[in-house]
Chain A
Amino acid sequence: MKYLFPILVILTGILLSYAMYMALSPNGAPTEQTMGMVQRIFYYHVPSAWTAFLLFFINLGASVYYLIKRCPTADILALVTAEVGVVFCTVVLVTGPIWARPVWGIWWTWDMRLTSTLVLWLIYVSYLFLRKFSSSGQTPVLAAALAILGALCVPFVYFSIWFFRTQHPQPVMGGGGSIDPRMLHVLLLNWLAFSCFAFLVCWSRFRLEKLQREVDEAHALRSLLDEPGGKSRSAR
């Protein structure tokens, strides 16, 4: 058990390296005829988006569970998945414009897919700000409610290109389009690699948050014991 985490780190590192090789090499995924090499951004852009969506759904589950059971572990899981999800969503928002510039001739356009992704990112950034700067006892409950709102936006972001005219291409899954099987293979490989990476980052962040709460509790206990007569200020 002690060596499980380092072993998983090494395996994930190998998987990420192999997935990157497959994404960049013509031996892995074929070069797209219209866009050329720049289309290979797809193998990082799309799996990052899917990983972010997956993390936001885990965040939703943990938030709902926290609202029902008031379980602190669920609260930590919600915080961690939101934070790592925001990192992946940031990758989507950065790689998207880098891909758009050579293909569309513009960095950004206020169409529904791009705007809704930005709004989703802003919702989860505000969630993290709420967690960081609010010291109220009700913060986890408010954050859980905000997380539910955020997760409701995820299907809207994904399917926005069905309901609105947009410059963004149709979704790879469920969009009615077709994709070369070798491209799909590399895409899924990269998603698997990013999902494993996200899992490990969440694991580390979860342990850190748990330790942080234990230290905060120890500080609170010590400050109570340090009071003259072992009484807290509020009790006096």
Chain B
Amino acid sequence: MTSNPYLFAAYAATWIIHIVYLATIMRRYSRLKLEVDDLNRK
């Protein structure tokens, strides 16, 4: 049971990596959406 912090760290690290990656996809998507709106306006 003394190893539990490692278990927590591994699971947390996994989800942090995935969430950070998903955040980059969402950021790229919103930036692209602005570009599309800009193109449509011109």
A residues near B (Cβ < 8 Å) are: 20, 24, 35-38, 40-41, 44-45, 48, 84, 87, 90-91, 94-95, 98-99, 101-102, 197, 201, 204-205, 208, 211-212, 215, 218-219, 222
With beta carbons under 8 angstroms apart, the residue of B4, B13, B17, B35 that contacts A38 is: B4
Inter-chain contact A95/B39, CB cutoff 8 Å: no
Name the contact of A201 in the complex, choosing from B3, B22, B35 (C-beta under 8 A).
B22
Which of A101, A197, A204, A218 contacts B39, CB < 8 Å?
Answer: A218
Q: Which of B's residues lie within 8 Å of A, judged by CB?
A: 1-4, 6-7, 9-11, 13-14, 17-18, 21-22, 25, 28-29, 32, 35-36, 39, 42
Question: Which B residues are in CB contact (< 8 Å) with A201?
Answer: 18, 21-22, 25
Q: Which chain B positions have C-beta within 8 A of A41?
A: 6-7, 10-11
Apart from the given pairs A94-B14, A201-B18, A222-B42, 19 other A-B contacts in the complex at a CB distance below 8 Å: A24-B7, A37-B7, A41-B7, A41-B10, A45-B10, A48-B14, A87-B17, A87-B21, A90-B17, A94-B17, A95-B10, A98-B9, A102-B2, A201-B21, A201-B25, A204-B25, A204-B29, A208-B28, A211-B32
